[in-house]
Amino acid sequence: MLSIRIAWRFLGSSRGQTALIVGGIAVGIAVQIFVGSLITSLQASLVDQTIGSAPQITLTDPEEGEPVVFSSRVEEVIAGQPQIRQETVVPVRNATSLYTDGSDSAPLNLIGGELAKLNGIYKLTERTVEGEAKLGLSDVMIGKDFAEKFNIDPGDSISLALQGGTRASFTVTGVFDLGSAAFNERQAFVNGQVPQDVLGWSSSEYGSIQMQVEEPFASAEVAAAMRSQLPGVEVSEWQAENADLLVALQSQGTSSYIIQTFVLVAIALGIASTLAIAAVQKTRQIGILKAMGLSDGRAGRIFLWQAIMMGGTGSLLGVAVAYFLLFGFSFSGASFSIEPKLSFVFLSAGIGMAVALASAIIPTRATSKLDPIEVIQGG
Amino acid sequence: MAETLLVADSLDKVYGEGAAATHAMRGVSFEVAEGEFASIIGQSGSGKSTLLNMLGLLDTPTAGRVLYRGTDPATLNKASRSKLRNELIGFVFQFHYLLPEFSVYENVAMPALIAGTLPPTEIRERASEALGLLGLDGLEDKNANQLSGGQKQRVAIARALMNRPAILLADEPTGNLDTVNTNLVYDLFRTISSETGTAFMIVTHDRSVAQRTDRILEITDGRLVQDVRSGPAPRL
């Protein structure tokens, strides 16, 4: 392939220029991969922090305070939704209570359920920071902030005034940290029997049936499908209740795309201008080669090959630099780690190549059109 | 009987249009036989380089035609014309026009590499032969920029001979050389012509140089005013 050989020699004859443009592509692709992966990971981290340990779809009775029945129909509808992570389906009963410690008191919302099922969403066992995760009939697990506020340790006994006026004593088995101070301070987990007794509900009646979905952003679609199949049941989902967070995530995504787009435009302009200059610098050589019989197509392909060589090398180098930056980021102490998706890395490298090829269009056309007589007469 | 290689038939070349039109060539006709050793002479601006470029298929006549072995290249597409130029014509320009990115060997081999029809071993053999013919042995791996002016021009001649062309068109090939090198180049042209049967068409403004060829075509103001043969005319 003579065009490749000539392209390689032309690049080699102006090493500084070649190195600059390859460096430019590498930096551009590295920024593209780094920024893209950073934003994606940051978004995933934010979503996980916000709803990773919270119900994403909740079934309740439309009438506040009334129980929803976990009927076979409800089970069937839930099982029929492939997006729902079945291991996270947890029916819970809630009861309000008041904790008093001498002069200070605080309301505590009791979430009652089976520990194994609660783990599906709340990951209680995993997030127990003190004591152990255990929910016997007289056990309670309290949040880290509540425990600190009232100086309570695992093994302590606490007395709670339950709704309806009764009072009951519970043994603190564990202290959890679900990442939210508000949750840690106001919510506690008890055995499902406790609120059932307080509320006087049957064994199939629950305050809510909570669950998570495989793809959090599919929650609206899944909820809509469930609503149509479960008339008389209130189906709520996290996106409708976290509109602000969604707007923030979307804005972050948009700004990331804008940055990436401008980086690509900068790369394209850089390669295009360098190739255009190179084409002008090599006009004489191209003219002579054409005078010797090199066809327009093969002459044009010289700069196409140059673009492929520079785009390919720059993209590969960019991927390497991006991984180096990501490695460096892992030491930054950020609360989340960046995990670049291989498909995004390939896409970025592919875009780098495509941009390089697109940048070669003008010099390729100019070279293709060059008439050798212009060079010969020019002397 | 020598075959006709090239026919220039009523060649006109006009630059510009209307009142600003300039006639660079007016009704020039002649024939060149295979292996003929001829020169084109004329003052600076007489149109001799324009004629050479048209013969070399680098420029197109405004009217008239050029035929190579009976084929009118104007009827071919650009790619076929490029191929014809590559196979039939060798060029030597006043400025050597070597490619500084390539070695002497690669510069010489370039026309064959462009043609892409010969196996690498034969390209190497031919390039070595052409370099040997021009006394450039041992310079194969040098960069074109490392040679003297005379050497560069000889490399350009070797390159022009690489594809064993039917005709070698040379535009003031010794214009930048001293007398010694000029004589050397013309002796070489003569030797190559007799050894390879390649026709030569050498453009020069120097009558004494032209007199070393077998035929002199004189161009004045774009017209062929004289066509003189010093030796016996080939029987076309």
- Determine the pLDDT at residue A378: 63
Measure in Å the smallest separation between the Cα of A371 and chain B Cα atoms: 8
- Determine the pLDDT at residue A280: 83
- Determine the pLDDT at residue A212: 92
Task: Give the separation between CA B40 and CA A253, rounded to whole angstroms.
Answer: 72
Q: Taking 90 as the threshold, does the pLDDT of residue B209 lie above it? A: no
Portion 42-81 of B in contact with A at CB < 8 A: 49, 53, 56, 58-59, 78-79
* Best residue of A288, A298, A306, A371 to probe chain B, by most B CBs closer than 10 Å: A288
- B117: Cβ–Cβ under 8 A, 6 or more apart, which residues? none
Q: Taking 80 as the threshold, does the pLDDT of residue B69 lie above it? A: yes
Task: Give the separation between CA B102 and CA A282, rounded to whole angstroms.
Answer: 13
Per residue in B103-132, pLDDT tens? Answer: 999 999 999 999 988 899 999 998 998 888
- Say what percent of chain B tops pLDDT 70: 97
- Determine the pLDDT at residue B175: 76
pLDDT confidence bin for B1, thresholds 50/70/90:
low
- A115: Cβ–Cβ under 8 A, 6 or more apart, which residues? A124, A125, A133, A134, A135, A189
Task: Give the separation between CA A7 and CA B100, rounded to whole angstroms.
Answer: 13
- Determine the pLDDT at residue B166: 93
Q: Taking 60 as the threshold, does the pLDDT of residue B235 lie above it? A: no
ipTM exceeding cut-off 0.90 for this assembly = no
Give yes or no for B86 touching A (CB within 8 A).
yes
b/e code A238-274 from CB counts within 10 Å (16+ = b): bbeebeeeeeebeeeeeebeeebeebbeebbebbbeb
Q: Are B104 and B141 in contact (CB under 8 A)?
A: yes
Q: Taking 70 as the threshold, does the pLDDT of residue B232 lie above it? A: no
Q: Are A72 and A217 in contact (CB under 8 A)?
A: no
- Determine the pLDDT at residue A350: 87
φ and ψ at A338, to 5 degrees?
Answer: -95, 125
Give yes or no for A293 touching B (CB within 8 A).
yes
Residue with tokens 């196979």: B87
Indicate the average pLDDT of chain B. 88
Per residue in A4-40, pLDDT tens? Answer: 999 999 988 888 888 988 888 898 889 888 888 888 8
Task: Give the separation between CA A222 and CA A235, rounded to whole angstroms.
Answer: 10
Enumerate the H helices of chain A as residue ranges: 2-13, 15-51, 72-79, 115-122, 144-150, 181-186, 193-199, 219-229, 238-241, 243-281, 283-291, 296-329, 342-359, 361-369, 372-378
B53 vs A contacts (CB less than 8 Å)? 373, 376-377
b/e code B61-98 from CB counts within 10 Å (16+ = b): beebbbbbeeeebeeeeeeebbbbbbbbbbbbbbbbbb
Residue with tokens 């380089």: B49
Q: How many CB atoms lie within 10 A of CB A379?
A: 9
- Determine the pLDDT at residue A40: 84
- Determine the pLDDT at residue B111: 93
- Determine the pLDDT at residue B6: 92
* CA dihedral sign of residues A232, A237, A241, A243: negative
Residue with tokens 């127990």: A128
- A58: Cβ–Cβ under 8 A, 6 or more apart, which residues? A208, A209, A210, A211, A235, A236, A237
When CB atoms are compared, the residue of B82, B97, B101 closest to A293 is: B82
Give yes or no for B95 touching A (CB within 8 A).
yes
Task: Give the separation between CA B47 and CA B221, rounded to whole angstroms.
Answer: 7
Paired sense of beta strands A205-206 and A68-69, if any: antiparallel
Parts of chain A with a pLDDT under 50: none
pTM above threshold 0.95 = no
Q: Are A372 and A290 in contact (CB under 8 A)?
A: yes
- Determine the pLDDT at residue B138: 87
B87 vs A contacts (CB less than 8 Å)? 293
When CB atoms are compared, the residue of B49, B95, B110 closest to A292 is: B110
Q: Do B58 and A291 touch (CB under 8 A)?
A: yes
Q: Taking 70 as the threshold, does the pLDDT of residue B236 lie above it? A: no
Q: Are B30 and B8 in contact (CB under 8 A)?
A: yes
**Token output for A320:** 């390497």
pLDDT confidence bin for B234, thresholds 50/70/90:
low
- The full length of chain A comes to 379
Domains, chain B, ordered by start: 4-229 (3.40.50.300)
When CB atoms are compared, the residue of A288, A289, A296 closest to B78 is: A296
